[in-house]
């Protein structure tokens, strides 16, 4: 899907002659999309943006090793994990954690009253 299609889907009018840079993105939090509580500004600095996305969403039972290796040296790992926890991301590797690991973290937070 092109950026122009995304923009038109969210109701922003854009001239057909307006060039849109390849690295441009819309922050859904700034647009007020329901359900999102954290910004995406950290995404531009995330190492996973330069890696194979397939490794971050392995098939059930597939290896998470490659994705977690990328996450281990990423400068925005904590922001990524916090985003995943705040937005209840249930699929993929976020902040170096699997779905199961995030579920355990959410349960621990809830038990300690930090949720």
5 is in an annotated binding site: no
Any binding-site annotation on 80? yes
48 is in an annotated binding site: yes
* C-alpha 72 chain-centroid distance: 16
Bridge partners for 97 per DSSP: 94
DSSP codes, 58-95:
PPTT---HHHHHHHHT-TTHHHHHHHHHHTT--SS-BT
Binding residues, by number, are 48, 71, 74, 80
Annotated binding site for [4Fe-4S] cluster: 48, 71, 74, 80
């Amino acid at each position: 899907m092109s950026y122009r299609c995304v923009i038109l889907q969210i109701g922003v009018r854009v001239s057909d002659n307006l060039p849109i840079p390849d690295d441009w993105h819309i922050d859904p939090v700034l647009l007020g999309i329901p359900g999102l509580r954290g910004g995406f500004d950290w995404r531009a600095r995330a190492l996973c943006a330069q890696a194979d996305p397939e490794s971050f969403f392995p098939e059930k039972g597939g290896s998470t090793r490659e994705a977690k290796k990328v996450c281990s040296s990423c400068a925005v790992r904590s922001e990524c994990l916090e985003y995943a926890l705040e937005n209840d991301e249930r699929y993929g590797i976020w902040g170096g954690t699997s779905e199961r690991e995030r579920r355990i973290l959410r349960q621990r937070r809830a038990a300690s009253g930090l949720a």
